[in-house]
Amino acid sequence: MTSLADAFARASAEGRAALIGYLPAGYPSVAGCVDALAAMVEGGVDIVEVGLPYSDPLMDGPTIQEAVEAALAAGVSTTEVLATVQAVAATGAATVVMSYWNPIERYGVSRFAEALAVAGGAGVITPDLTPDEAGPWLAAVAAAHIDPVFLVAPSSTEARIRRVAAVTRGFVYVASTMGVTGVRAAVSDRAGALVARVRQVTDLPLAVGLGVSSGAQAAEVAAYADGVIVGSAFVRRLIDAPDPASGVAAVRELAVELAAGVRAARPS
């Protein structure tokens, strides 16, 4: 059992969804990102997503793009991403990387999987890699004993959902909308229906992302999903903070609110 499976099992034992928080490595600095991610864990985040900054982020909305561009301008590379993973994994939280495929391919498929495992990483979310093109990647993560996480979306066919479920480990990332990431006033009403479709073909945990930004929204999603993913809302707290220490405090505060939200959905 991987640390991802452990995290979902612990949350399930408490009768709640797992809380998953994302930040791109290197923002507002490498050390500042580590501090913010540690604050997330202190606030109640169960699983941490460390974003690998990339110059052409197809799924990322303007908030995450702003932070990623700043990290890239500061020279953040895969080396710093792996160091961030190692530091955050040391907190005991299950830690995964969110990365587009191009940086992994450039770094070396097997080399990246092995380096992530050494750093204590539990898995990798690859939003732009389809299972049909993932043969070498699946072999590499299997050898490194880390989990490959693939995405489904409202447009996914039944055949695509089955294919994703067959190769994914750890959890299935359920994208609640076809749009890019970002804070929204309401989570897509298609998310619940998509979760129900995916449940028909897999027993893996299902985590919903894209749009969650408040405790109330976290509670709404936690009522039907096994995991609630929050990214842009955390990034926005850092961007809007007047200084790094205030940003860390704001991230911790949001984590506490979201953790209360997933617990509010606990069945009686």
- Please state, in angstroms and rounded to a whole number, the distance separating the CA atoms of residues 69 and 244: 17
Measured in residues, the chain has a length of: 268
CB of 152 closer than 8 Å to CB of 164: yes
Strand blocks (E) in the chain = 18-24, 47-51, 94-98, 123-125, 147-149, 151-152, 172-175, 206-209, 227-230
Q: Of these residues, 49, 80, 220, 226, which one is catalytic?
A: 49
Distance CA 248, CA 34 (A): 10
3-state secondary structure (DSSP) of residue 58? coil
Candidates 42, 46, 56, 60; catalytic one: 60
Cα–Cα dist 188/209, whole Å: 10
Q: Are 223 and 186 in contact (CB under 8 A)?
A: no
* E strands, 40-137, in order: 47-51, 94-98, 123-125
Report d(CA 234, CA 247) in Å as an integer. Answer: 9
**Alpha carbons 261 and 242: distance in angstroms, whole number:** 27
d(CA 265, CA 241): 30
Which residues are 98's β-sheet partners?
51, 125
In the residue annotation, 66 being an active-site residue is answered as: no
Active site residue 243: no
Catalytic residues: 49, 60
